[in-house]
């Protein structure tokens, strides 16, 4: 089984090396950075920066569904009839909207490590425990994103007339089917602009994980800047890479907005 996973990982790594926009066969650094500090391979920092770009994009994409799912259920809890659910949801959003993202990251990264170590100590394990920086970053950014996301989704829920739920009841739908077929399509259309803004903020917040050792764009360019003493060049490259992610995201969300509007018109 381990051999199968190793072969699968090797295959994925080979595919990634082929389509790598920076150091792949048609990569930018390979064609225009040869003989400079951005060269790929042992002579430059192209490979390290390309890997940092991959880590940043992967972290943001992995955090997005986690934050959306948690935020959706928190938004549902905020409008529940049960008072304890509303109170818990409000406490959750108050905490994670009030704490700085960096502090949340430290609490998750070091706090989870302590909790896991204490739990394993009760089972007789006394060895060192180290929490994966990628997982810690995903959890920390996910809970912060979900706290803001819940407010956006709550506003979208309130913008949908209550008669839409009554229409589902009149058609004989149970609430789950009403939510899936009637409410969610409208919810996505209404909430999409706000979620797009939160996604942009999430992209920028991924830079915080560099403080816990995750080799993202900022950490990789920071190391290169310290070693080569070319801080302006490498931090300028970091700016360009984040702007590329922002522009691609803006195009993607604009496309989604147009698609949801066309879908609404067809309805």
pLDDT value, residue 116: 81
pLDDT digits (tens, 9 = 90+) for 225-257: 999 999 999 999 999 999 999 999 999 999 988
Let me know: does 104 contact 143? Beta carbons within 8 Å: yes
Distance from C-alpha of 218 to C-alpha of 205, rounded to nearest angstrom: 11
Contacts of 242-246 spanning 24+ positions with Cβ under 8 A: 242/203, 242/204, 242/207, 242/217, 245/56, 245/57, 245/60, 245/203, 246/200, 246/203
pLDDT > 90? residue 148: yes
The CA–CA distances, whole Å, from 215 to 47, 58, 68 equal 12, 12, 25
Place of tokens 């409000």: 90
Decide which of 62 and 20 is more confident: 62
> Which is it for the CA torsion 76, 81, 85, 90, positive or negative?
positive
**Residue-wise DSSP of 94-159:** HHHHHS-HHHHHHIIIIIHHHHHHHHHHHTT--S-----HHHHHHHHHHHHHHHHHHHHHHHHHHH
- How far is the C-alpha of 130 from the C-alpha of 114, rounded, in Å? 9
The answer to whether the beta carbons of residues 21 and 47 sit under 8 Å apart is no
**pLDDT at position 113 over 50:** yes
Residues 172, 249: Cα–Cα separation, whole Å: 39
What's the Rg (C-alpha) of the chain? 22
Residue, of 33 and 60, whose pLDDT is higher: 60
Residue range 177-183: mean pLDDT, rounded: 83
Per-residue pLDDT at 2? 41
Contact 101, 140 (CB under 8 A): yes
Q: How confident is the model at residue 42 (pLDDT cuts 50, 70, 90)?
A: confident
> For residue range 3-41, what is the model confidence (pLDDT) as tens digits?
554 555 465 555 655 667 888 777 788 787 788 888 888
In degrees rounded to 5, what are phi and psi of residue 24? -75, 180
Q: How far is CA 193 from CA 77, 256, 266, in A?
A: 22, 10, 20
Q: Provide the whole-model pTM.
A: 0.87
Those residues with Cβ within 8 angstroms of residue 66's Cβ, 6 or more apart along the chain or in another chain: 138, 139, 142, 145, 146
Residue-wise pLDDT for 183-229, tens only, equals 888 888 899 999 999 999 999 999 999 999 899 999 999 999 999 99
More confident residue, 160 or 104: 104
Segment 164-174 shows an average pLDDT of 80
User: Higher model confidence: residue 227 or residue 182?
Assistant: 227
Mind listing the pLDDT tens digit for each residue in 71-94? Answer: 999 999 999 889 999 999 999 999
pLDDT confidence band for 1 (50 / 70 / 90): very low
- State the pLDDT at residue 181: 80
């Amino acid at each position: 089984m381990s051999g199968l996973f190793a072969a699968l990982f090797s295959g994925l790594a080979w595919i990634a090396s082929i389509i790598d926009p920076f150091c792949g066969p048609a990569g930018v650094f390979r064609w225009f950075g040869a003989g400079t500090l951005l060269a790929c391979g042992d002579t430059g920092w192209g490979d390290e920066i390309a890997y940092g770009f991959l880590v940043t994009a992967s972290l943001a994409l992995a955090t997005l569904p986690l934050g959306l799912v948690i935020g959706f259920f928190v938004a549902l809890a905020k409008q529940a009839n049960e008072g304890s659910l509303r109170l818990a949801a409000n406490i959750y959003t108050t905490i994670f909207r009030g704490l700085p993202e960096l502090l949340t990251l430290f609490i998750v990264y070091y706090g989870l490590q302590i909790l896991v170590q204490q739990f394993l100590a009760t089972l007789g394990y006394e060895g060192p425990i180290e929490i994966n920086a990628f997982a810690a970053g995903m959890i920390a950014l996910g809970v912060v994103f979900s706290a803001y996301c819940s407010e956006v989704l709550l506003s979208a829920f309130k913008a949908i007339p209550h008669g839409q739920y009554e229409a589902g009841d009149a058609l004989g739908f149970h609430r789950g089917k009403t939510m899936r077929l009637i409410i969610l399509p409208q919810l996505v259309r209404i909430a999409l602009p706000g979620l797009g803004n939160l996604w942009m903020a999430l992209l920028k917040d991924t830079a915080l994980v560099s403080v816990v050792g995750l080799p993202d764009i900022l950490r990789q360019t920071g190391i290169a800047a310290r070693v080569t003493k070319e801080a302006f060049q490498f931090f300028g490259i970091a700016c360009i890479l984040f702007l590329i992610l922002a522009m691609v995201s803006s195009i993607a969300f604009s496309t989604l907005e147009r698609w949801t509007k066309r879908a609404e018109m067809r309805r």
